[in-house]
Homo-oligomer: A and B are copies of this chain.
Amino acid sequence: MARRYVITFGCPDRIGIVATIASFLADAGGTIVEAAYHTDQDTGWFFTRQEVAAETLPFGPEEMRTRFAAAVEELNGEWQILDTEERRRVVVLVSKEGHCLYDFLGRVASGELDVDVPAVIGNHPDLAKITEAHGIPFHHVPFPADDKAAAFAQVEKLVGEADPHAIVLARFMQILPARLCADWTGRALNIHHSFLPSFVGAKPYHQAYRRGVKLIGATCHYVTAELDEGPIIEQDVIRVGHDDTIQDMVRKGRDIEKVVLARGLRWHLENRILVHGNKTVVF
């Protein structure tokens, strides 16, 4: 795909924001390839995401950022400009269950997800072989019940070295300490195997089975210190019936987990998700 600069911008709503940004781009000769706007009526916060064709601009990403900063200075906004030529890096944390990792690796191998994967980290060694078959380093970090702090320190170090744009908890069964949640704010994505806020916590399919629900789901959300309470990125569901055992639910649910995580991760890497409070705008 042709190189693009992706502007994401948020500020208190007022008259003239769109005109300011659009005039800046028009004056520079930039072609807007995709644009989306939203104002949250409750908080009065304005959001926009715009993709600009890089070859239509007479300057590179650094000067783009400098000029954009000047142009929007008065708006007191928060913004980022992503250059699609910068490779995106993803680190994946796993445990024993492989379906989300297999799905992710398949998307990377087929070129659908064009990212670098500097590391996969598992608290069990089960998924080492498949990871390495894809030419990706696998790090086994055991999580002894009596010393999880040391294990998390090692995970933190490995993630820090990779400096990833996304840290994917692909059915990683350990609860992150609050400090890591804070350090990784806005970069750590979890896939929870229920339609949140239903069935928070452990064994959601078992909870769903006991309650007798007729649909089960999965939720991709940003990780926060409150378990399963972070901003929701994407959700989907699949129908189940009285003849579905817990094992059937687990199997059917996996297909939803995989696709919900894949969508959420793609949107995150394309800077399509703007977090505001505990909610997301997905452009």
**CB within 8 Å of B: which residues of A?**
13, 15-16, 18-19, 22-23, 25-26, 29-41, 56, 97-99, 102-103, 105-107, 109-110, 112, 130, 133-134, 195-199, 211-215, 217, 231-237, 239, 241-243, 245, 251, 254-255, 259, 262, 278-282
Contact = CB atoms under 8 A, between A and B. Distances in A.
Contacts of A215: 195, 217, 235-237
A252 to B, nearest CB: 9
A41 B91 CA distance: 34
Given A18-B32, A215-B236, 14 more contacts: A13-B31, A22-B23, A32-B37, A98-B106, A99-B112, A105-B106, A106-B106, A112-B254, A197-B211, A197-B213, A214-B233, A215-B237, A242-B279, A255-B259
A282 B235 contact: no
Contact of A18 (B22, B29, B195, B235): B22
A209 to B, nearest CB: 9
A34 B243 contact: yes
A213 B237 contact: no
Contacts of A237: 215, 237
Nearest to A40: B242
Majority secondary structure of chain A interface residues (helix, strand, loop or mixed): mixed
15 contacts: A13-B31, A16-B26, A19-B22, A19-B26, A22-B23, A36-B36, A97-B110, A102-B105, A102-B106, A133-B134, A196-B211, A197-B198, A212-B278, A214-B235, A242-B279
Counted per complex, copies of this chain come to 4
A259 B254 CA distance: 11
Contacts of A13: 31
Contacts of A106: 98-99, 102-103, 105-106
A254 to B, nearest CB: 7
B99 A242 contact: no
Contact of A33 (B39, B112, B282): B39
